[in-house]
A = this chain, B = another copy of it.
């Protein structure tokens, strides 16, 4: 495999970059799609579109997107809602060299906050 031409710009290790790239993907997803009109009828197509668009981005190994239908808020005279930051349930794995980072975005009830966190970071045992 040819060396990645972006590497010369990076400080730190592959592991640092894996963590960084996982953050990019989650921040991008939240801010790109928040506000999308939402009802149970279109949640599935939106999940698939977000997954497919994320796979297009650099270094993504795996991504899973779920929209929490139980927390959706349908309201108003036209009976629909929007995708809010609390409805995301996303897990994304990125790989940089031998380092892998798994990032998660999900609403954490005890914090009352849609947290983005590193679920795993390091070198997978079978790489």
Contacts and interface: CB of A to CB of B under 8 A. Distances in A.
Contacts of A78: 57-58, 113
Interface residues of A, number: 68
Interface in A20-34: 20-34
A12 B118 contact: yes
Copies of this subunit: 4
Interface of A: 4-6, 9-12, 15-17, 19-39, 41-42, 45-46, 48-50, 52-58, 75-78, 80, 82, 84-85, 101-103, 108, 111-113, 115-122
Nearest to A27: B27
Nearest to A102: B11
Contacts of A24: 23-24, 26-27, 116
Contacts of A53: 36-38, 42, 45-46
A36 B78 CA distance: 25
Nearest to A76: B113
B17 A118 contact: yes
B56 A52 contact: no
